[in-house]
Amino acid sequence: MCPCKFWRKPSRLRVVRDLLPTQRPGLLLAPMQDVTDLPFMRLMARYGGPDLFVTEYFRVTRDSKPEPQILRSITENETGIPVMAQIIGQDVEAMVRTARALERHPVAGIDLNLGCPAPIVCRKDAGGGLLRHPERVDALVGALRQAVDGRFTVKCRAGFDSPDEFPRLLEIFQKHALDGLTIHARTVREGYKTAVHPECVAAAVRALPFPVIANGNVVNARTGLAYLRRTGAAGLMIGRGAIRHPWIFDELRASFSGAEAPGPRGRDLLGYIRELYEITAAFHPVFHELRHVQKMKRYLGYIAGGVDREFEHHIRRVVTPAEFDAVCRRFLDHDEPLPCEPPHDSPVFCGFRDLTVTEAEPVS
């Protein structure tokens, strides 16, 4: 399906729900810098994929132009899954210019990043760093809403220092005719090291007339269903959980219909890792074997957890492609079922069990 199908200049009444299923919650792949590029999107589509992609962010400065490599995830995306273009920055004039330039491409809409917690980004008052200045958030969101002809959405955190800041952010989002809001329900300070605050998502669902998407800590179908029950969100955005477990979108779809998807086994994961290696290797203009192994080890930081502690130990120490493949074969060339979730003490999936342990609490 040609992505141009989604390249329309919709009226201001058109919202993200027009891109998502009507009979079940929507599923989105989170924008992850240096991860959600064109080959990763293609690979996710092979495994069922989300209903909507969001690009890794386009860095916007006074003199910047949209990065060609990120543009490829829009202009060369033949998956049939619509793609939102995400931008990050704090210069209002430059952000407006970039949003308009991106709308000349087959994008499903423009998304504003108000959530990146990276210190280098926050020091420049971009991403999550801008949440320290609500009046500037108000000005930027207002200017972009005025400039963007099509869909305009925001992805934010629950605050910079504390979730107590979130009501002020909600007031700002209520003022502007957004087409959707995704909330990573941790603060910028919390990064990825705590449980999420589902009450912030639930408050946004009650307050806003457009779709609210819940993000953070969805590692399997159970945590995703719990997050939806506790918030009433219109859908889920999944990032690290999809790197670890690309079957997660199809498993959630099955759960929405009351079905049970067959769980993957060791050789399924081995096949996924090999596909990930090959499809990302082919994307490099100049391929360097040893550098690519290092990139794959970063992916494996999310994938290996819970499979086998010895697997994690050995994969960190590989250097060559042959060593990488040998370790993967040693621990994954079997037909045993894979663990359904990471370890509860995982350093990269922190606090996910809180969603299910407390899911019986009513949403006020």
DSSP string of 96-131, one letter each residue? HHHHHHHTTSS-SEEEEEE----HHHHTTT-GGGGG
Beta-ladder partners of 265: 337
Which of helix, strand or coil describes residue 199? helix
Measured CA angle at 173 (ends 167, 177), to 5 deg: 155
Q: Which two tokens stand for residue 97?
A: 């210019």
Given the residues 4, 116, 156, 328, the one annotated as active site: 116
Is-catalytic flag, 116?
yes
Residue 90 contacts residue 61 (beta carbons within 8 Å): no
| Angstrom distance (rounded) from CA 91 to CA 34 | 23
Q: How far apart are CA 209 and CA 193, in angstroms?
A: 31
State the Cα–Cα distance between residues 242 and 223, nearest whole angstrom. Answer: 13
Catalytic residues: 116
